[in-house]
Structure 1
């Protein structure tokens, strides 16, 4: 097949998902083309994985430029000549469906519904658009059952397929005591202080502001505890100011947008992500693959990606600072329990979230989408019997 991925955003978990798909699809012998802005991490990493890059200078947020972006994308689709188009996230889904309009088998992957991030008039408009545009998607690929349920609840009637996110288990390997020690030394961290790490784009969705607000109370209850925020994003200046305003004993380290989060995952006792909404976040799966327990808010995908025995301590309500404080403090005060949970999490991810399984299931979805379109074309050419 010739597969055309279209993506905006070009960072965070979406970029890692697209890069993993590119790598696996190229290994399977497919021609893989990526249309995305040439700036950012995605273009570099996807090209290194074997993708052909088509520069699509689209903005991340919707706006007046979307019609121009859709026209530019239409030209790129003609240039690529794909057998199937895979649209990633809301912006690519908007411009891509306007550009292709069902003329090529099209898979739309929301990576969390756009209306979950909006309120009021904008949320209503986003929902109405998704209901209308679903006619131009051969399939909607959700990464969790809850994401599909939210789509159905919003009356988005589509041909849904659920394929949970996966992790490259050869890349995210179990980090044992020696790896933890080496990571802490390389990062300039104390070898024994309890460490919570949050890996994610610095933005309202990921909830780092809630984490910083809760941290002083956690640090008072767990003396010596440290917190690190790993990632870049639009809220970096605001979060840096919020961190600087904390009293000195409760200091927080902002590591920035690192090329490889694995040393931070290896160094952590606990990985926390207090998201306000998700489809299924990738960072917790990567953390669990390295043998680290996670603390997540109960948003779409979180409950499904945790081992069932971990729900009671690994899940908290969204937007609940008291619950976040209590769960963080309890986990960091018990390093042996963290180690036990991390070992169980590694086994769970290996069994349920291997990227090779995801790539195989996505390839089957492409084939089914192509066959569905071809079948419809054949049916439309057969004269009706009188």
Structure 2
């Protein structure tokens, strides 16, 4: 059989009774990608698939996966490409031969690079960028990353984007692929308005930003905007939840009204405590933080990057979307939200309803399993998912 992107070798059809075997390969091992892989793996196990995840040690991913009952195999790999890449690819190729999966699902740029080099189209391979690699770098590195993405697409049975905007960005940069768009989803039973909340100190409004402390997430832009917010809203506090390579630089010179809370195993209590959740990213595919916050019925303020418009209910756009890298626009919009409690309540309620309808992780799981089913040409047996009212994931 031949596809427009190259030959697909003949494979024995996986047994429906035992369920197809999915090998997820991921690097990074923290943040939104780790949460998505954990949720997806747990839901796929509940749907009757066999699931193995290969990832580096560290971060939050390994413990979360094992707690969900998922098989985890160590794959030593750095976060960015470098001189260790050939060894990483060889180790991954051996791991794939040992695991003998029916389908490989590679998450993010580094795992997508190594997995496609290791497999080279010999197995059905799904690549999920979670934001494009060429957006994360500049100059010569950006050109090299783009050339690879154009070339590597031939070894992707599907390129799975989390938003139409992410897909359009790929197409506009000359990537020819067999595209599939499956919007991100979150666990709406875990992220909900009811539950534990962080104890608040002080009577002023609380703004929370959850994310890896790095250039992508734009906390530096938020800190530039923050003094203007405090001038208009004395007593306002900003909490940055997360850790990352920019932590020391961001802490240097931050005013007393800014708290660095470090990484949180569960961000839901922070969302519930917030008056507004803000994520001033420079680029994304579709960020999980706004979806998680809306699932907790909290208003969000995000930058107009890939996936942002698609993740928000239509009525949110005038209040909750600002241009990236514009601290003055961010300060104005944040102040406007903090001044209007009834608007925040309405936005929070609308956001919760929107996530339930369009971004529940069970919808995401259904769609991703549908991609596997199409690639393998088999049906995945329905299985009743625990703790749900006789709902089943059926493909």
TM-score by length of 2: 0.89
Aligned to 1:134, the other structure's residue is in SS state helix
Task: Decide which of 166, 176, 197 is 1:183's aligned counterpart.
Answer: 197
**How does 1:118-157 map onto structure 2 within 5 Å?**
118-157=137-176
Rounded to whole Å, the distance in 2 between the matches of 1:184 and 1:156 is: 44
CA distance in 2: counterparts of 1:318 and 1:237, whole angstroms: 23
- Quick one: which of 348, 352, 359 aligns to 1:353? 359
* 1:72-126 deviations in Å (ceiling 9; x for gaps): 0001101111000000000000000000001010000000000111111111111
| Matches of 2:251 and 2:56, distance apart in 1 | 27
Conserved? CA contact 1:197–1:268, under 8 Å: yes
Q: Which stretches in structure 1 are left out of the alignment for 5+ residues?
A: 373-386
Unaligned runs of 5+ in 2: 1-19, 379-395
Contact 1:134 1:157 in 2 (8 A): yes
Question: Within 5 Å, which residues of 2 pair with 1:1-386?
Answer: 1-175=20-194, 183-185=197-199, 188-190=200-202, 192-243=203-254, 246=255, 248=256, 251-371=257-377
Answer whether contact 1:293 1:341 (CA < 8 A) is retained.
yes
Deviations 1:41-71 (A, max 9, x none): 1111011112111100100011111111000
Q: CA deviation at 1:183?
A: 2.2
Post-superposition offset of 1:173: 1.2
Instruction: Measure, in 2, the Cα distance between the counterparts of 1:183 and 1:53.
Output: 31
Bigger proportion of residues as helix: 1
Cα distance 1:336–1:120, how it changes in 2: closer, same or farther (>3 A)? same
Instruction: Note if contact 1:32-1:50 (Cα within 8 Å) is conserved in structure 2.
Output: no
Give aligned pairs, total: 359
Deviations 1:14-34 (A, max 9, x none): 000000011101111211101
1:155 deviates by 0.9
Deviates more, 1:291-300 or 1:327-336: 327-336
Give the equivalent residue in structure 2 for 1:377: none
CA distance in 2, matches of 1:265, 1:230: 10
CA distance in 2, matches of 1:107, 1:50: 23
Taking the aligned partners of 2:58 and 2:264, their CA distance within structure 1 comes to 16
Instruction: Write the deviation string for residues 128-148 of structure 1: whole angstroms up to 9, x where unpaired.
Output: 101111010100000000000
Runs of 4+ in 1 over 6 A off after TM superposition: none
How big is the shift at 1:184?
Answer: 4.3
- What's the secondary structure of 1:183's corresponding residue? coil
